[in-house]
Structure 1
Amino acid sequence: MNGHNLTAISEFILVGLSEIKELQVFIFLIFLCIYIITVNGNVYIILAYRFSPNLHTPMYFFLANFFFLDICYISATVPNMLSNTLSEHKTISVTGCAVQMYCVWLLAGKECYILAAMAYDRYSAICHPLLYFIIMNKLVGRVLITGSWIIGAVNSLIHTVLTFSLHFCGNKINHFFCDARPVFELSCTNTWTNELLVLLIGGSATIGSFILIMFSYIQIISTILQIHSTSGRKKAFSTCTSHLIVVTIFYGSGIIMYFRPKSSYGMAQERMVSVMYTVVAPMLNPFVYSLRNSEMKSAMRRILHHLIKL
């Protein structure tokens, strides 16, 4: 960020989800409930993993990291949105806006990579069961998690620095958080390079990870179809369905958001799609994974029983 931008514009105005005053309290209550449910649901599952030795496997290690990521992801946007919803001055500083954009891009990229790592984990478990704990040992898991943070951090830093090197002629962001395209609309200069960067960064994270996920599941489905037992096929596929649902929600909304023609969307539609992958998806993920996983449900019941006894 250059000094010229910081002195010319010291803060941005976030429009939010709606400019209708009568809806502000309703929006606040809805998103406050969503935020509380999301944080508590994800923390609950992380505790179930932490205090259940039978869950200390590579799959649940990735899941615990994934749920921690969802807490960070929703916390990057919703608390500030809640604060602005009931405020007369819906502002965010330029530095705060840059930090928020950096965090959202970092966490979105990280989520792409960890979903790919989880797909590779399922591929190893189903296609190479005898070698599973050799392929997916603790060191490999830690390297995959650490590597995804590093790659996401570098990509997000490049994107954020270039975005806030633009010269802004306005300060009213038509969104509920500092996302790329609404900020680009405030620029006085040509943003073609920045928009290309969004596609390149989004493409490297989204498409690259998506290809790895699809390759893993082609191999998984091929292996499952070779299982003669119906119950065996059902059991093998049941370990993947939750992951597939989460992948569909996250990648579906992301692709709609960033890979459709610019002329085909309005800001109202863009805000709704953003709500899907930054707010709704983190809320649904704990339910998707816990309701379809008997081991997770048993661990959560034990934790709940222990908390009640306390």
Structure 2
Amino acid sequence: MGAENEIAVTEFILEGFPELDPRLQVFFSQVLLLMYLTTVMGNATIIFLVCVDHHLQTPRYFFISNLAFLEIWFTSSTSIKLFVMLSSGQNTLSLSIYFAQNYFYFALGCTEFILLVVMSFDCYVAICQPLLYAAIMKPQLCVHLVVAAWVLGFVLLSYRLLFLLELSFCGSKIPHFLCDNSPLFKLSCSDTSLLWKIDSVFISRVVLGSLCLTLAFYIATFSVFCILPAASGRKKALTTCSSHLITLSIAYGSFIALYTCPAEDVSLRTNRIVALLNTVLYPFLNPFIYSLRNKSVILVLSRSIAKARTKLFP
């Protein structure tokens, strides 16, 4: 689009899923609301249990509770607006809200990838250096690692706001349900080549870099499996890492599918489906993958429910 077609855009229209029947959209909105509430309650339960029970106040669950907190905000940044769009048809966003959602979506995603590296490092130390685990994973180090993940995630993505605020647009209809890059850049009358290049560097350095670090920790971890003295030791180590591996597959798989394939090679419908997996399904599964199927967490949860029941019905 040329500069001569530039119009004064004050808001964007998210088209969402226009191909769906209105009744199906209402049904989908109810399913989405149920999943969102379950996501928030499940992740909030993990945070609550880690805070109130000293048995779960370990580095592993400290990192998991931070991931749970992140997932609440990550899914809220997109699911709430999607629910409103599907249930009431209100699909407009002001430029400032659109840019804010775009920034938080990518900043929280970047923070998550760094947290996943930290958690893989914790898993590596727990299995490969069990005798030194307490000496290495001190509370101060755990706090510093988490703070670094949050600060880096939001600082590294701050360049986006500066570039987005300088763009001008030749249209207002976004064929998506969230504030993604590709449809936004296609509407821009400005030259977005520099922003495309910076995003490409970001993907290759941060996302793929964090993936390489995570895989390196797991390769080192799996190499220890072969020399563990008993099958029970191998089973325990594998159980420790299995939930993390499931999370990695979903997180990195969906992101790579969305942002490393050329836009013209991926249909809009496929892009939206993968985005749903990333923003709705993955945060929904997180509490079950990490904690709510763990015997220790279930025991603490049962104990907390019993205490609450005793107080309410003495």
Band the TM-score falls in, shorter-chain normalisation: over 0.9
Where does the alignment leave 5 or more consecutive residues of structure 2 unmatched?
Answer: 1-6
Letter in 2 for 1:180: N
Number of residue pairs the alignment of both structures matches: 305
Q: Distance in 1 between matches of 2:41 and 2:307?
A: 16
Q: Counterpart of 1:92 in 2: which secondary structure? A: strand
Given that 2:182 and 2:263 are in contact with CA atoms closer than 8 Å, whether structure 1 keeps it comes out as no
Aligned to 1:11: 11
Q: Which moved more, 1:280-289 or 1:192-201?
A: 192-201
Structure 2 counterpart of 1:165: 166
Q: How far 1:157 sits from its partner (Å)? A: 1.4
Which residue matches 1:253? 254
> Does the 8 A contact of 1:42 with 1:286 survive in 2?
yes
In 2, Cα distance between equivalents of 1:40 and 1:170:
39
3-state DSSP of counterpart to 2:88:
coil
Q: Which letter does structure 1 place at the counterpart of 2:16?
A: G
Change (3 A) 1:220 1:176: same
Query: Partners of 2:70 and 2:104 in 1: how far apart?
Result: 11
Give the aligned residue type for 2:284: M
2:272: which partner in 1?
A: 271
- Note the 1:175-214 alignment, pairs <5 A: 175-214=176-215
Q: Tell me the residue number matched to 2:76.
A: 75
- Whole-angstrom distance in 1 between the partners of 2:303 and 2:48: 11
Structure 1 vs Structure 2: percent identity of aligned residues?
37
Structure 1 CA distance, aligned partners of 2:81 and 2:308? Answer: 31
- The offset of 1:45, in angstroms, is 1.3
Using the size of structure 2 for normalisation, the TM-score is: 0.93
Contact 1:18 1:24 in 2 (8 A): no
After TM superposition, give the deviation of residue 169 of structure 1 in Å: 0.4
| Correspondence list, 1:1-310, <5 A | 8-20=8-20, 21-309=22-310, 310=312
> What is the DSSP-based 3-state SS (H/G/I as helix, E as strand, rest coil) of the residue aligned with 2:66?
helix
For 2:150 and 2:228, locate their aligned partners in 1 and report how far apart those are by CA, in whole Å. 37
User: In the TM superposition, what is the alpha-carbon distance from 1:291 to its structure 2 partner?
Assistant: 4.6
Aligned CA distance change for structure 1 residues 293 and 89 (closer, same or farther; 3 Å): closer
Scaled by the length of structure 1, the TM-score of the pair is 0.94
Describe the SS at the equivalent of 1:217.
helix
2: CA distance between counterparts of 1:262 and 1:199? 13
Unmatched 5+ stretches in structure 1: 1-6
RMSD: 1.7
* Residue aligned with 2:252, SS: helix
